[in-house]
């Protein structure tokens, strides 16, 4: 029994799902977890990240972006029919897929950067599985109550009240799942129009099947399977081990100050027993969405959401100990503190070794700070990531929006006209990547005296042609070029086509051949 004046932390009747001292098969039947709501800095940060990520996902397709009369006004649109990707002022054509590849490379390096700096922060804060599980838990708490009420409800026999609560919870989950799938399809078509068609039953079948599949997976993975997705289905926990090093931040139970744990600290102190700061209240286990006990050390299941830090800090405040018994720490700092606390002769942790006479943590204790994030490895990742980003931004800002491609006729390679001139035929492809109509001036160089004509006016050759090109379109145009072979030094001459926007400075060139057959 604790003495009456001893500050007592609330004890939680909870057991981790993967107790270290129990034999576990590779796949264990699921033990239902009822995470308690945490309060604190990390929980608030998670609410913020959740609001921002969900907001971005649901709202983005409804943002409008004026691109003029000839292009869609949806800010972010994957236009599969016309093979375009619109992202605010950026428009990506299929032949510019390297930008998408570049973004994927950046995402990969970004993940390396984040993991080597702050461990599995992606898993704990921004992974869609984490965000949607959090959202589904909010509904569960709102309908069924906090942890103890939910456990009680689980054990209760079926009654009208239980059926009502379960029906309401699952109905809201299904609505969330449907709106998740629904939001996804709006990225692929004009959102307001598709929404109306969807409701009136006039949307394409693929829209309905996509919503159905995504709603099913959201409901199943986020509502029913929850932590099992992270433990059994996701490859990331297995990969991340290779990216961490001894300076990466991970959520750590500082057993060098926490052990030996004791529920009756004052009594143990009076009995002269060594005591650590852990009051063995299990609050850290009760809030864990993965249902594990961080005091068992680093575990594959831990998504580093840091909710156990919030829970433990609240307990430390209550019992009058310094915060940080569970904290973000590097392995290097942890090892250094552990060396201080460990009695090598007995092999036991003696927490008084890391304390001053006033029971405060010794100034020799290493505290991990944000500075740990800045080290050669993370700076190298950041440099590569930033360089790719800068190179891509520069390329996007300076890329041409006018392109030219030429196919020289192969059969016949040339024809001889009645006046002795030689004529070659070309298929000229002018690509206008602007969302507005353009007129381009076509000119030739490289072949002395060369003139050109369109098939419909082949008797009226000229040295300059004007072509209209529709917005966001490719114009295929047959052009004949003729010249006097007597003026040419070689049987094959290099011929350059140039197109230039008549209202701008943008131009494109293409080099091809002009054949005379040595006449």
33 binds ligand SF4, rule: CB under 6 A = no
In the complex with ligand SF4, the residue whose CB is nearer, 67 or 295, is 295
Spatial CA neighbour of 400 closest among 481, 323, 268, 509: 509
**Cβ atoms < 10 Å from Cβ of 105:** 15
Instruction: Please give the C-alpha separations between residue 398 and each of 83, 98, 101, 389, 391, in angstroms, as whole numbers.
Output: 22, 15, 19, 14, 11
> Cβ(147)–Cβ(34) under 8 Å?
yes
Spatial CA neighbour of 45 closest among 133, 143, 121, 112: 121
In the complex with ligand SF4, the residue whose CB is nearer, 263 or 478, is 263
Spatial CA neighbour of 469 closest among 509, 487, 442, 445: 442
Preceding amide of 412 cis, omega within 30: yes
Q: Find tokens 């449907």 and name the residue.
A: 178
341 binds ligand SF4, rule: CB under 6 A = no
Q: Give the residue, chosen from 114, 143, 221, 288, that forms a contact with ligand SF4 under the rule CB under 6 A.
A: 288
In the complex with ligand SF4, the residue whose CB is nearer, 305 or 481, is 305
Spatial CA neighbour of 114 closest among 377, 301, 309, 368: 377
Number of residues that bind ligand SF4 (CB under 6 A): 28
User: Hey, what are 49's tokens?
Assistant: 């990240």
In the complex with ligand SF4, the residue whose CB is nearer, 191 or 306, is 306
In the complex with ligand SF4, the residue whose CB is nearer, 42 or 510, is 42
In the complex with ligand SF4, the residue whose CB is nearer, 265 or 516, is 265
118 binds ligand SF4, rule: CB under 6 A = no
Q: Find tokens 């050759």 and name the residue.
A: 461
d(CA 10, CA 443): 85
Stretch that binds ligand SF4, among 51-59, 239-247, 287-295, 383-391 (CB under 6 A): 287-295
Ramachandran class of 121: left when φ > 0, alpha when ψ lies in -120 to 50, beta otherwise: alpha
123 binds ligand SF4, rule: CB under 6 A = no
> Cβ(67)–Cβ(84) under 8 Å?
no
Least distance in Å: CB of 286 to ligand SF4?
8
325 binds ligand SF4, rule: CB under 6 A = yes
- The strand ranges marked E within 32-158 are 76-79, 84-87, 90-92
329 binds ligand SF4, rule: CB under 6 A = no
Q: Find tokens 């692929």 and name the residue.
A: 188
* Helix, strand or coil, per DSSP, at residue 252: strand
Least distance in Å: CB of 12 to ligand SF4?
8
In the complex with ligand SF4, the residue whose CB is nearer, 210 or 269, is 269
The CA R_g of the chain, rounded to the nearest whole Å, is: 34
In the complex with ligand SF4, the residue whose CB is nearer, 96 or 296, is 296
d(CA 195, CA 177): 16
> Cβ(458)–Cβ(481) under 8 Å?
no
Least distance in Å: CB of 34 to ligand SF4?
14
Q: Give the residue, chosen from 290, 447, 469, 508, that forms a contact with ligand SF4 under the rule CB under 6 A.
A: 290
Q: Give the residue, chosen from 121, 137, 249, 307, that forms a contact with ligand SF4 under the rule CB under 6 A.
A: 307
Stretch that binds ligand SF4, among 49-57, 66-74, 295-303, 434-442 (CB under 6 A): 295-303
In the complex with ligand SF4, the residue whose CB is nearer, 327 or 453, is 327
Q: Give the residue, chosen from 311, 406, 469, 499, that forms a contact with ligand SF4 under the rule CB under 6 A.
A: 311
Stretch that binds ligand SF4, among 52-60, 213-221, 284-292, 429-437 (CB under 6 A): 284-292
Q: Give the residue, chosen from 143, 294, 483, 499, that forms a contact with ligand SF4 under the rule CB under 6 A.
A: 294
Residues 220-259 that bind ligand SF4 (CB under 6 A): 251, 253, 258
Instruction: Please give the C-alpha separations between residue 259 and each of 123, 272, 306, 314, 374, in angstroms, as whole numbers.
Output: 29, 15, 20, 18, 31
In the complex with ligand SF4, the residue whose CB is nearer, 309 or 469, is 309
Residues 254-283 that bind ligand SF4 (CB under 6 A): 258, 278-283
Least distance in Å: CB of 83 to ligand SF4?
42
Stretch that binds ligand SF4, among 105-113, 171-179, 304-312, 476-484 (CB under 6 A): 304-312
Least distance in Å: CB of 313 to ligand SF4?
8
Angle at which helices 191-200 and 160-185 pack, to 10 degrees? 130
Instruction: Please give the C-alpha separations between residue 437 and each of 68, 283, 331, 396, 472, in angstroms, as whole numbers.
Output: 11, 66, 61, 21, 8
In the complex with ligand SF4, the residue whose CB is nearer, 352 or 494, is 352
Ramachandran class of 473: left when φ > 0, alpha when ψ lies in -120 to 50, beta otherwise: beta
Binding footprint of ligand SF4 on the chain (CB under 6 A): 251, 253, 258, 278-284, 287-288, 290, 292, 294-295, 302-308, 311-312, 315, 325-326
């Amino acid at each position: 029994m604790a003495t009456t004046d001893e500050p007592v932390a609330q004890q939680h009747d909870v057991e981790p799902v993967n107790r270290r001292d129990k034999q576990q098969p590779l796949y264990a039947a699921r033990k239902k977890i009822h995470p308690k709501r945490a309060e604190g800095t990390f929980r608030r940060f998670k609410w913020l990240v959740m609001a921002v990520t969900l907001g971005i996902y649901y709202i983005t397709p409804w943002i409008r972006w004026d691109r003029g009369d000839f292009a869609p006004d949806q800010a972010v649109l994957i236009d599969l029919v016309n093979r375009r990707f619109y992202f605010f002022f950026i428009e990506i054509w299929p032949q510019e897929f390297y930008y998408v590849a570049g973004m994927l490379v950046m995402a990969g390096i970004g993940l390396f950067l984040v993991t080597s700096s702050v461990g599995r922060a992606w898993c704990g804060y921004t992974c869609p599985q984490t965000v949607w599980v959090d959202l589904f838990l909010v509904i569960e708490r709102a309908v069924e109550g906090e942890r103890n009420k939910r456990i009680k409800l689980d054990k209760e026999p079926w009654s009208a009240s239980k059926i009502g609560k379960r029906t309401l919870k699952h109905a809201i989950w299904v609505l969330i799942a449907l709106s998740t799938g629904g939001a996804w399809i709006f990225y692929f078509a004009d959102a307001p129009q598709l929404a109306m068609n969807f409701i009136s039953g006039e949307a394409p079948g693929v829209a309905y099947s996509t919503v159905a599949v995504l709603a099913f997976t959201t409901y199943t993975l986020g509502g029913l399977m929850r932590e099992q997705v992270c433990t059994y289905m996701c490859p990331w926990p297995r990969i991340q081990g290779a990216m961490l090093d001894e300076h990466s931040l991970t959520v750590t139970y500082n057993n060098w100050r926490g052990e030996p744990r004791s529920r009756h600290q004052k009594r143990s102190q009076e009995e002269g027993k060594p005591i650590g700061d852990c009051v063995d209240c299990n609050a850290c286990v009760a809030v864990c969405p993965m249902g594990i006990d961080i005091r068992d050390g680093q575990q594959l299941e831990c998504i580093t959401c840091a909710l156990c830090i919030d829970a433990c800090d609240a307990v430390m405040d209550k019992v009058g100990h310094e915060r940080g018994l569970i904290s973000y720490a590097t392995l290097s700092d942890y090892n250094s503190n552990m060396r201080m606390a460990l009695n090598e002769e007995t092999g036991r942790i003696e927490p008084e070794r890391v304390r001053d006479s006033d029971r405060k943590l010794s100034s020799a204790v290493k505290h991990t700070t944000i500075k740990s994030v800045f080290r050669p490895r993370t700076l190298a990742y950041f440099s590569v990531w930033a360089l790719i980003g800068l190179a891509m931004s520069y390329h996007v800002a300076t890329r041409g929006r006018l392109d030219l491609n030429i196919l020289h006729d192969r059969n016949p390679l040339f024809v001889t006209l009645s006046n002795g001139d030689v004529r070659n035929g070309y298929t000229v492809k002018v690509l206008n990547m602007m969302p507005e109509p353009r007129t381009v001036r076509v000119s030739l160089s490289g072949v002395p005296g060369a003139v050109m004509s369109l098939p419909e006016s082949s008797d009226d050759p000229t040295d300059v042609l004007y072509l209209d090109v529709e917005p966001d379109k490719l114009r295929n145009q047959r052009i004949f070029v003729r010249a006097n072979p007597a003026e040419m030094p070689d049987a094959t001459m290099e011929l350059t086509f140039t197109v230039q926007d008549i209202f701008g400075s943008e131009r494109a060139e293409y080099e091809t051949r002009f054949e005379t057959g040595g006449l």
